[in-house]
Chain A
């Protein structure tokens, strides 16, 4: 593991969480280095979102040890913008610094929405709204960025564009990133490391050793996809239609 070389940003030790009789997370430990992008895959109900919520500090019922940086930001599955505040005010929500408007505008420029600064969130498309949510997270210069199935609600074409945008933003801002998804291609395209969560345990923790730019048709991409899909319970025969 390279974690000894890089400085740790996130340290999770023996994290457990159960809802009633159901054990969702069972002694899960995970480190994320500074600037590292970790994608967490898993079938629905595997505990991915539960893990992210615990790391984000939303879940006070979980057991274990979690160490995270002070500056964190979350992008949720839905944009969760305040409908009664204009786009720029949403981006700078809760910020106190005097130059917050300037920073907000810069963040909007980064996601390509300069001209929508004064729009109401209700007038944005799904993709635009999620870009605002990204700007709202990045304007805070987080040391840890948590993305909870951030593109799950978008159509396939928009999702592809968002992947390109996110890679670019991560390259510039370089936060430690945990992205929870059930989209295998998304995980391989975006991350430095893939973790597969299955029945409350980490079933795989592997480096994505594919050089950028990554091509979805490349053999090593396809090989990793096949392996991950296998771990997620998709049979070889099911890949052929």
Chain B
């Protein structure tokens, strides 16, 4: 949609009207429109600039904070000899499996608690109880119970994910418009139709908020999970670098976490955009 907006000041001073993308009041001076992705990257770029400046001027020692280019060359080295992918893929698998279990468990529990009174009584308080415990505190226990294999790592990630998904989806289900449910029932909806066409789509926005928290939680859990006697994974890479005092590798791992975090955030954003089209009436192109 485009709108040509004439502010009175423009007409008086004979400034040519300009086409603006949104209803923004055009001032006398023409503003340059910077594309949104570029604007969004301004913050990170600024941070990088300050970092480079501090390193370049020798303001901070490279043992404390290595220069961006040093970090990049260390990273490039890790990429080239396959070290990064070797570790990253292991972490991705853990997060992926943990997410899968966590999302399924969290969603199923939320549906049961959200639609059946008995379910709510049995599940809700129990999950809320778990919610108040920082789930990473479970690490030592999980090791005692499940040993040092993959299980405790996946369980840790899945627990955090399930809680985040449950809490948000459950409250979304509870907040689905009662009037819509009543109307649906009046048109003879079966229980299944009610759940699949009214309750679940209605709680989708809440679920997606939960998913966003879940992804953040998954990567956080991973850091803790990979402190457990690992020999592969981003956490392993990090602790190795720590032992060898390779601050550049440590920095590169942190940057990797950050980039992945941002990527998962944008995946959810894309999902929201696609699944919640009805909110804006946006038809796509």
Contacts and interface: CB of A to CB of B under 8 A. Distances in A.
Contact of B201 (A58, A82, A119, A140): A82
Contacts of B187: 73, 93-94, 136, 140
A84 interface: yes
Contacts of A76: 179, 183
Interface stretch (B66-74, B141-149, B276-284): B276-284
Interface residues on A, range: 20 to 34
A203 B186 CA distance: 29
Interface in B261-283: 277-281
B193 A82 contact: no
A83 B179 contact: no
Given A82-B197, A94-B193, A123 B186 contact: no
B186 to A, nearest CB: 5
A209 B278 CA distance: 47
Interface string B246-264: 0000000000000000000
B277 A120 contact: yes
A93 B197 contact: yes
B189 A94 contact: yes
A56 interface: yes
Interface centre among A58, A80, A123 (most CB of B within 10 A): A80
A49 interface: no
B184 A94 contact: yes
A83 B184 CA distance: 13
A84 B281 contact: no
Nearest to B279: A122
Interface in B159-191: 179-180, 182-184, 186-190
B184 A120 contact: no
A120 B276 CA distance: 11
Contacts of A119: 281
A80 B204 CA distance: 18
Interface in A108-122: 119-122
Contacts of B204: 84
A82 B196 CA distance: 12
B96 interface: no
Given A76-B183, A119-B281, A122-B279, 9 more contacts: A58-B186, A72-B186, A80-B179, A82-B180, A93-B189, A94-B188, A120-B277, A122-B278, A136-B187
Interface of B: 179-180, 182-184, 186-190, 193, 197-198, 201-202, 204, 277-281
Interface of A: 56-58, 72-74, 76, 78, 80, 82-85, 93-94, 119-123, 136, 140
13 contacts: A73-B187, A76-B179, A80-B179, A80-B183, A82-B184, A85-B201, A85-B278, A93-B184, A94-B187, A94-B193, A121-B278, A122-B279, A122-B281
